[in-house]
Amino acid sequence: MKTIIEPFKIKSVEPIYFNTPIERKRILKNAFYNPFLIHSDDVLIDLLTDSGTSAMSSNQWAGIMQGDESYAGSPSFFRFEKVVQALTGMPIVIPTHQGRAAEKILFSILGGKGKYFLSNTLFDTTRANIEFSGAEGIDLLCAAGKLPSVPAPFKGNLDTDALKKCIAEKGASNIPLVIITVTNNSGGGQPVSMQNIKDVRAICTEHQIPLFIDACRFAENSYFVKLREEGYADIAVAEIAHELFSYADGCTMSAKKDAFANIGGFLAMHNEKLAMQCRNLLVITEGFPTYGGLAGRDLEAIAIGLQEVVEEPYLHYRIRSIEYLTNKLIEAGVPVMQPAGGHAVYVDANAFLSHIPVDQYPGQALVGAFYEHGGIRSVEIGSLMFGKYAQDGTLIPAQMELVRLAIPRRVYTQSHIDYVSEVIIEVYNKRHEIGGLKIIEEAPLLRHFTAKLAPIN
Ligand SMILES: *Cc1c(COP(=O)(O)O)cnc(C)c1O
């Protein structure tokens, strides 16, 4: 087999500024050991997120020039609407400025005290919007998804037995929605099988609970279905995606992921009554329903991106490039989530830094080490992001302590990725020199974005 090459060539480049470990040690200290507080000019390889960081295609840039900026009824909106309708089969399409704006609208309407939203794993902004409404979010991830080192084909699946039990316990009338996140971002970018979605659909139908898809990475998930699920090998990814959406009553989407856009999102659904309530809120918080917080040019970029992302040479390269980095790390003995996910490599920080207790945030400590050693920016997905405090002030840790290295779409080449693997392996070989951290300042919600930390020693 020959090397799988990037299915694009580069027309426009951006410089990377180089700095030294000594400079980065100071930068990290000044940023209070929080990667979100580091200036991106000071980062060599930025794997903080795959959100809004994609390289747009020449077609998307051409679309940007064709954006029509009319306040109402822009042709750019109708092109966008048509693409989303064709993809999802959902007739109602409501643009928002990003994914969390769609969530905010949906959960403001459906949430509130005494309500429960069930999911495989709620993403952090989704959970925050649910909790902000007064409702509670419950993650029901399958057992395989909680074991980082044990490979399985669909570790993003929702545990259907736990779902039935939870519905019986909380009462169907208190559950406004079940939400399946594809792929499961907080759980390692692991895919959900079509069978699991069908099974969840059947349970939802039985209890008359609507099913929504958090669709941010629908194309990556659909490609995994093609690769791993029986009966899908010869079906086009666009068709697989269409089937996936056909089981849902609606979806929320961040176009900053699988739409190659730098900003944008949408809500899509079948229910006209719910849509009317959503649009009423949209006008107050986002804008008129034919632009919803976006410029006409953004709608064009999203529409084109949604068509490009289901192209199979792209997905082949995309999924392979994540697997390539994952496998290099596995070969060197670095503990990572297996198998490779769709958009990121997840390092198991508990295993990597087994000498650091969870209440000293091993994931965050590792994020600092990758930055200081190699200028690589990553993010903790563990107890800094999801930890809670017990009544006595002790930490209730997250399910896993992971460090996510998210790979921006179409941005880095194979040599960038080779460099990343070299840095991580070098850090692994001197892991015993890394110490824990403590929080010195934090916000009540989404604290990882702004928290300030300091070394324990
Ligand atoms: C990014 C993301 C969101 C939120 O989207 P934004 O555009 O960042 O607001 C919601 N769910 C998942 C799974 C995501 O990855």
Domains, the chain, with CATH or none: 21-50+311-455 (3.90.1150.10), 58-308 (3.40.640.10)
DSSP 142-159: -GGGG-TTS--TTTT-B-
Instruction: List the single range of 20-24, 110-114, 134-138, 386-390 with lowest mean pLDDT.
Output: 386-390
Contact in structure between 274 and 251 (CB atoms under 8 Å):
no
Say how far apart CA 291 and CA 266 lie, in whole Å: 10
Neighbour-count burial of 9, counting CB atoms closer than 10 A to its CB (0-12 exposed, 13-18 middle, 19+ buried): exposed
**What is the pLDDT averaged over residues 283-292?**
95
Site to probe by mutation for ligand 1, drawn from 97, 100, 119 as the one with most ligand atoms within 8 Å of Cβ, is 100
pLDDT, tens digit (0-9, with 9 covering 90-100), for 328-354: 999 999 999 999 999 999 999 999 999
pLDDT, tens digit (0-9, with 9 covering 90-100), for 288-322: 999 999 999 999 999 999 999 999 999 999 999 99
* Nearest CA residue ID for atom 8, ligand 1: 99
Give the pLDDT score at 236: 98
Residue 180 CA to ligand 1 centre (angstroms): 13
Instruction: Check pLDDT > 90 for residue 143.
Output: yes
Does residue 125 have its Cβ closer than 6 Å to ligand 1? yes
DSSP 382-436: SHHHH-EE-TTS-EE--S--EEEEE--TTT--HHHHHHHHHHHHHHHHTGGG---
Instruction: Check pLDDT > 90 for residue 1.
Output: no
Contact in structure between 210 and 242 (CB atoms under 8 Å):
no
* Nearest CA residue ID for atom 5, ligand 1: 99
Dmax over CA atoms of the chain, in Å, equals 60
Residue 216 CA to ligand 1 centre (angstroms): 6
**What is the pLDDT averaged over residues 258-274?**
98
Does residue 99 have its Cβ closer than 6 Å to ligand 1? yes
Contact in structure between 134 and 338 (CB atoms under 8 Å):
no
pLDDT, tens digit (0-9, with 9 covering 90-100), for 232-262: 999 999 999 999 999 999 999 999 999 999 9
Contact in structure between 383 and 364 (CB atoms under 8 Å):
no
The strand pair at 376-377 and 45-46 is best described as parallel
Under DSSP, the state recorded for 105 is H
Instruction: Check pLDDT > 90 for residue 11.
Output: yes
Residue 245 CA to ligand 1 centre (angstroms): 18
Give ∠ CA 445-165-114 in degrees, rounded to 5: 40
